[in-house]
Chains A and B, each alone.
Chain A
Amino acid sequence: MSTDAPARHDASGAGPSARDEILAAVRAALPPGVERPPAVETLASVLTAGSLAETFIAAATAAGAEVTSCDRAAARVALSSLTAGARSAFTFASAPSAAPGTSDPHELADLDLVVCEPALGVAENGAVWLATSDSMARAALLLAQRVVVVVAERDLVRDLHEAYARIDVRAHPFGAFVAGPSKTADIEQALVIGAHGPKAFTILLVHDHQTGEPS
């Protein structure tokens, strides 16, 4: 298994490679094998607070996001007013977007707003899955002062187990669960929003009900 190993850089020219020595040391050290636990285990629900949407809204709000539940028309209105007020904006969907005007992510250093459509939202922790192969989109997500995500209620899943069953982490070089604006509590545990990345995180949670219809 080690003979057909892929090419690798090795610091030492002579003698056994670090790779072979480490793997040999691992094999010599292995404790008696422990079986892998069963692949799927039914776990109790974390949804004690009601529907997926209610749980998601509570979790995302706790993570510092501002969540607005709205129908498609209202989402369009909210989105256009957000982008109209922005100094600069960048939009990407989970699928790679059309190539932007430049290919150096440093050009986005002063970006004000990024709008994106995550593939799914996770009810238990308020995170959304954002994945991209586009270097500009990836940088925009971190460089922008504000993030707006538009997620459909039907794209909510219960927990991370369901989320991983739904996504393919290999589809793009980069994918992240993002829960709210960037934050730190490194000075005396005081919560500060906007550590390195976005200072504001707005979620438009879009449902298909008619306005006024009880959800």
Chain B
Amino acid sequence: MTRPAFELPVVGATPVDHAANAAAFTADAARTTWHDESLWFVREKRDRAAASVPEWEALRARASAIKEHALTHLDEYLVRFEENAVRNGMQVHWARDAEEHNRIVHGILADAGARRLVKSKSMLTEECGLNPYLEARGIEVIDTDLGERIVQLRGEGPSHIVMPAIHLKKEEVGDTFHDALGTPAGLDDPTALAAVAREHLRARFLAADATLTGMNFAIAETGGFVVCTNEGNADLGMALAPVHVASVGIEKVIPRVEDLGVFLRLLARSATGQAVTVYSSHVHGPRAGQALHVVLVDNGRTRQLAREEFWRSLKCIRCGACMNTCPIYRRSGGHSYGSTVPGPIGSILTPGIDLQRFASLPFASTLCGSCTAVCPVKIDIDAQLFRWRQRVVDAGYVPRSKALAMETSVRVLDRPRLFRALGAVARLGLRLLPARVERLLAGPWGDARELPAPPSTSFRAWYRRNRRGGRR
């Protein structure tokens, strides 16, 4: 199951075939069930946490409104954030794209003579491909979130934005630690493995020349930011390293401090079912003697903001609830999306970066709407998935077979007589053909399903016989 580290989304790269990737994942049925149940467990914890807050729906509505207000006044809030951050002693940089972001971060590290970087979780830097960029320039990059460290040691990308190693079993983590950290072969107790990681990473924290964190929220009013973790890894890095770089997507700016009350009450409950993360850290300037750099990154966000149908996807606060609830994500695994942010939210964000490459993602959904129902900022994810499908078809990026099937359906459904005739043929065929052939005709739906027994007659015929006063 080892996969290469996530590559930078490049226009023209090989399109992601989600269905094929999902088929590879589900080939191991026991593992698929285990993965499904692991995530459903988190979804149930989220439900209990949400139900414990009587004003949950009011909070969601307010969070959504604050984000929509912030995004529709984003220029003002970005400028205000920058002014206040600079006043707080931070150095603010702007990056148009991933390459510029990486160049800025490397420049900061090079200027400081930093060779050893400890990072806490930042999906933005995954998106930008920062780690390979820095490693190619001789900088040691250590991901310090336990899940991220595990996938980093395995040469993989995270499969979930909150639980990066959710796709791995403890035995696999044990093997990875045995190879990389010299733990005894066969050691797979999570407590013991986490204790080894603690010692291994504590040494890296103490030796680090610089630290990089993301931001959960950037506060325009105060020029500060909030980082949420359970492990305390972001805080250890910030408390020890002489240089701190905080990278953030421009959509993460919120207007006021009081807004944090709304977002922090929603975030952890939606993500893991905790009332709040262990650390919700507020940074309003460097420590004495520390350099603190903020990098504000666009990388396609202004293009998404300009899309009338899709700009609300930028409200996302990266809780991962839509992944945990999604019947497709749970049974196909995060890597099947080939995207830094997988799952339903990834499937509406990523097509905006490269529609051709990620054309299959809007179809990785049943459109059941469960993602929309749990989203703490009320993004209409299922509706946006549906709209992206239309854009994919408009652009001609659907497979010819699928397009042909749709065109044929239109021709048949347009002609009542043809429809009735084909219905009769199908009912006869389903009675006569062997099940093996029927499953073939059903396409992927037939892979694990028996087709139902065909009715003896069409509904139209049944209705004509049975309607009140109808002909008998």
Kindly provide the distance from the CB of B123 to the nearest chain A CB, expressed in whole angstroms: 16
A82 within 8 Å of B (CB atoms): no
B308 CB to nearest chain A CB (Å): 7
In the bound complex, do residue A26 and residue B69 qualify as a contact, i.e. CB atoms below 8 Å apart?
no
Give the segment of B20-28, B277-285, B422-430, B436-444 that binds chain A.
Answer: B277-285
A residues within 8 A CB of B252?
Answer: none
Q: CA A88 – CA B277 in complex, angstroms?
A: 28
Q: How far is the CA of A126 from the CA of B277 in the complex (A)?
A: 11
- In the assembled complex, A80 has its CB within 8 A of some CB on chain B: no
- Which A residues are CB-close (under 8 A) to B289? 135
For A139, the closest partner residue in chain B by CB is: B239
- Which of B41, B42, B100, B275 contacts A62, CB < 8 Å? B275
Interface string of B394-405 (1 = CB under 8 A from A): 000000000000
Hey, what's the 0/1 contact readout for B148-189 against A, CB within 8 Å counting as 1? 001000000000000111101110010000000000000000
Q: Which residues of B approach A to under 8 Å, CB–CB? A: 38, 41-42, 52-55, 58-59, 62, 65-66, 68-69, 71-76, 78-79, 82-83, 86-89, 91-96, 100, 103-104, 107, 144-147, 150, 163-166, 168-170, 173, 190-191, 193-195, 198, 201-202, 205-206, 219, 222, 224, 230-233, 235-236, 238-240, 250, 255, 257-258, 260-262, 264-265, 272, 274-290, 296, 298, 302-303, 305-306, 308, 311
Residues of chain A within 8 A of B78, CB atoms compared: 22-23, 26
- Say whether A125 contacts B275, CB under 8 Å: yes
Q: Are A194 and B79 in contact (CB under 8 A)?
A: no
B96 neighbours in A (Cβ, 8 Å): 18, 21-22
The 3 closest A-B pairs by CB, nearest first: A197-B232, A29-B306, A186-B147
Given contacts A26-B305, A37-B66, A163-B261, contact A2 B94 (CB under 8 A): no
Q: Is the CB of B257 within 8 A of A169?
A: yes
Q: Let me know if B72 and A142 touch, CB within 8 A.
A: no
Question: Is A35 an interface residue, CB under 8 A from the partner?
Answer: yes
In the complex, A213 has a CB within 8 A of chain B: no
Q: In the bound complex, how far is the Cα of B92 from the Cα of A18, in angstroms?
A: 12
The answer to whether A143 and B54 have CB atoms under 8 Å apart is no
**Contact call B100/A46, Cβ cutoff below 8 A:** no
Residue of B87, B250, B280, B286 near A26 (CB, 8 A) is: B250
**Cα–Cα distance between A180 and B103 once the two chains are bound (Å):** 38
What 0/1 readout, one digit per residue, does chain A (1-44) give for beta carbons within 8 Å of chain B? 11001111111100001110111011111111111110101011
Which residue, B69, B164, B275, B303, has most C-beta atoms of chain A within 10 A? B275
Is the pair B280, A63 in contact by a Cβ cutoff of 8 Å? no
Partner of A196, one of B95, B164, B202, B283: B202
Contact of A106 among B69, B87, B240, B261 (CB under 8 A): B240
Least CB separation from A181: chain B residue: B278
Contact partner, B65, options A9, A37, A160, A169, Cβ 8 Å: A37
Which of B144, B146, B165 gathers the greatest number of chain A CB atoms within 10 Å?
A: B146
Tell me the number of A-to-B contacts counted with CB atoms below 8 Å: 290
**How many A residues have CB within 8 A of the partner chain?**
88
Q: How far is the CA of A33 from the CA of B76 in the complex (A)?
A: 12
CB <8 Å contact, B190 and A188: yes
Are B55 and A180 touching (Cβ within 8 A)? no
Q: List 6 A-B contacts (CB under 8 A).
A: A8-B94, A11-B103, A25-B302, A125-B276, A135-B239, A194-B194
Chain A: minimal CB distance from B248 (Å): 13
| A165 vs B104: C-alpha distance when bound (angstroms) | 37
How far apart are the CA atoms of A133 and B213 in the complex, in Å?
20
B198 and A187 within 8 A (CB) = no
Cβ distance A79 to chain B, nearest Cβ, rounded Å: 23
| A residues 103-125 in Cβ contact with B at 8 Å | 103, 105-106, 109, 122, 124-125
Q: Specify which chain B residues have a CB less than 8 angstroms from the CB of A127 in the assembled complex.
A: 276, 280
Q: Give the chain B neighbours of A9 by CB distance below 8 A.
A: 91, 93, 104, 107
Contact between chains at A173 and B278 (CB < 8 Å): no
Take A31-B72, A176-B280 as given contacts and tell me if A25 and B257 are in contact as well, using a CB distance cutoff of 8 Å. no
A173 touches B284 (CB 8 A): yes
Which one of B41, B68, B100, B258 contacts A39 once the chains associate, using CB atoms below 8 Å? Answer: B258
B373–chain A nearest beta-carbon distance, Å = 21
Contact B275 A43 (CB under 8 A): no
Do B302 and A26 have beta carbons less than 8 Å apart? yes
12 new A-B contacts, CB < 8 A, other than A6-B92, A31-B305, A125-B276, are A11-B103, A31-B71, A31-B311, A32-B72, A46-B54, A135-B288, A160-B261, A179-B276, A186-B146, A196-B202, A197-B231, A197-B278
Question: Do B163 and A161 have beta carbons less than 8 Å apart?
Answer: no
Select B239's contact among A6, A105, A198, beta carbons within 8 Å.
A105
Contact (Cβ within 8 A) B279 A23: no
CB distance B240 to A139 under 8 Å? Answer: yes
Contact status B258-A164, CB under 8 Å: yes
* Residue A72 lies at the interface, judged by CB distance under 8 Å to chain B: no
- A187 touching B100 by the CB < 8 A rule? no
- Closest Cβ of chain A: how far from B351's Cβ, in Å? 17
Determine whether A172 belongs to the interface, using a CB cutoff of 8 Å to chain B: yes
B289 (CB) vs chain A CBs: closest residue:
A135
- Distance, CA A31 to CA B72, complexed state (A): 5
Q: Is A195 an interface residue (CB 8 A)?
A: yes
> Which residues of A lie under 8 Å from residue B194 when comparing CB positions?
184, 186-187, 192, 194-195
B114 to chain A, nearest CB (A): 16
- Given A174-B283, A187-B146, verify A25-B298 contact (CB < 8 Å): yes
Q: Which A residues are in CB contact (< 8 Å) with B306?
A: 28-29
Whether B58 lies near A18 (C-beta < 8 A) is no
Query: CA separation between A19 and B91, bound complex, in Å?
Result: 13
B-side contacts of A197, CB under 8 Å: 231-232, 235-236, 278-279
Contacts of A45 in B (CB 8 A): 54
Query: Once the chains are docked, how many angstroms separate the CA of A10 from the CA of B96?
Result: 11
**Is A170 an interface position by the 8 A CB rule?**
yes
